[in-house]
Amino acid sequence: MAMARAHGAFLLQLLAAGLQVVALAATVTVTQTDDPRCRPSLPRRGAIAVYPSDMEQLQFLLNPKFVEAEWFLHAALGRGIDYLDRNLSAGGPAPVGARKANLDFRTTEIAAELGYQEVGHIRAITQANGGFPRPPIDLSADRFAAIMDDAMGARLDPPFDAYNGTVNFLLASYILPHVTAAAAVGISPNLMGYASKRLHASVLAVEAGQDAVIRMLLYQRADETVAPYKGRTVAEFTRRISDWRNDLSGCGAKDEGVKVLDRHQGAERRTISNILGAGVDSLGYQRTPAEALRILYGSRNEQVPGGFLPQGANGTIARGFVQLA
């Protein structure tokens, strides 16, 4: 009996020691950041971090990102980039028409998170590649209302108010990150430096996630009517906004709503749900800078500014189009 008890105590000691080892191991993996297995593989000898030509490509993304940052932050908080970091705008004018949206608590949290993410991306891109002043940005309710009328092929009555209610806010948000993500995919073959590729992948990972979050929230409401527009569902709005983007950009079908009408448009041609809008083999669509600008300008023409960017986007690529005009 005593023997058995001693044996039991020994086992307990062993167990405790084992747990300590496990605990120690856990501490070690968490704290030891100089573990070579935690470091990304070193670039090959002589590899260049950032090529001069990378800079204008990554800078191009600052344009949609300024628009998104101001949209999400104002919708959530009633104030934008300047409230967080005076330097990021580099003296560019404050956006016009942006204001706090009438959102439920969860959606406010989500909008704020997405807005802060954009601020981080603007900072990271600017620090690595240089930047330019925030371009003039128009986020007025009238701007969104005009887009929705155009997309729906009808004059919505009352005019669509992007700031009035969670569903309206999500539908307005649907317009932006999908284009930015596709533009980010589009520039990828042009990047050559290893630091540029790393930054690009990290930015794209989060941008695509933002698009997925918005699309998922809309998919959950896909069959609901968008009040007060009788018979017009959330799914139909997303389909028509996607068609509108395809139409404006003029480069074929690269965009579908969150719920498609034909299974052949879904993943492996088998789904009606289309939460992650993608092409054949579920590969994300790519858009050129020109296509992205045709949509952001709402003009079908990368040489004709308008829409969210009334004076045009900035940086070498976007200014180059205007100089050609």
Ligand X SMILES: *[C@@H]1O[C@H](CO)[C@@H](O)[C@H](O)[C@H]1NC(C)=O
**Binding residues for ligand X (CB under 6 A):** 85, 87, 92, 132-133, 135, 158, 161, 164-165, 227, 311-312, 314
In the complex with ligand X, the residue whose CB is nearer, 59 or 274, is 59
Pick between residue 188 and residue 301 the one whose CB is nearest to ligand X.
301
CB nearer ligand X, residue 135 or residue 284: 135
**Closest approach of ligand X to the CB of residue 27, in Å:** 34
Contact 207, 184 (CB under 8 A): yes
Nearest distance in Å: CB 104, ligand X: 12
In the complex, what is the shortest distance from the CB of residue 324 to ligand X, in angstroms, rounded to a whole number?
A: 16
Label residue 315 left, alpha or beta by phi (over 0 means left) and psi (-120 to 50 means alpha). Answer: left
Quick one: 59 or 238, whose CB is closer to ligand X? 59
- What CA–CA distance (Å, rounded) separates 153 from 147? 10
**Where is 264: in which H helix or E strand?**
none
Q: CB of 282 within 8 A of CB of 242?
A: no
Cβ at position 133, least distance to ligand X in Å: 5
Q: What is the DSSP string of 173-209?
A: HHTSHHHHHHHHHHHGGG--SHHHHHHHHHHHHHHHH
Q: Which is nearer to ligand X, 90 or 205 (CB)?
A: 90
Nearer to ligand X, 153 or 158 (CB): 158
Using alpha carbons, list the distances in angstroms from residue 254 to 33, 230, 280: 42, 28, 10
Q: How many angstroms separate the CA atoms of 100 and 92, rounded?
A: 21
Between 92 and 289, name the residue whose CB sits nearer to ligand X. 92
Complete DSSP assignment for 128-176: HH---PPPP-B--HHHHHHHHHHHHTS--SSPP-TTBSHHHHHHHHHTS
* Cβ-based nearer residue to ligand X, 53 or 87: 87
Distance CA 73, CA 70 (A): 5
Query: Nearest distance from residue 312's CB to ligand X, in Å?
Result: 5
The minimum distance between CB 93 and ligand X, in angstroms, equals 8
Q: How many CB atoms lie within 10 A of CB 20?
A: 10
Q: Which residue, 146 or 192, has its beta carbon nearer to ligand X?
A: 146
The CA dihedral of 230, 235, 239, 245, to the nearest 10 degrees, is: 90
Sign of CA dihedral 137, 141, 146, 148: positive
The Cα–Cα gap between 145 and 154 comes to 11
Cis peptide before 228 (omega within 30 of 0): yes
Cβ at position 291, least distance to ligand X in Å: 20
CB of 213 to ligand X, least distance (A): 23
Output the smallest distance, CB 73 to ligand X, in A: 15
Torsion of CA 216, 221, 225, 229, to 10 degrees: -30
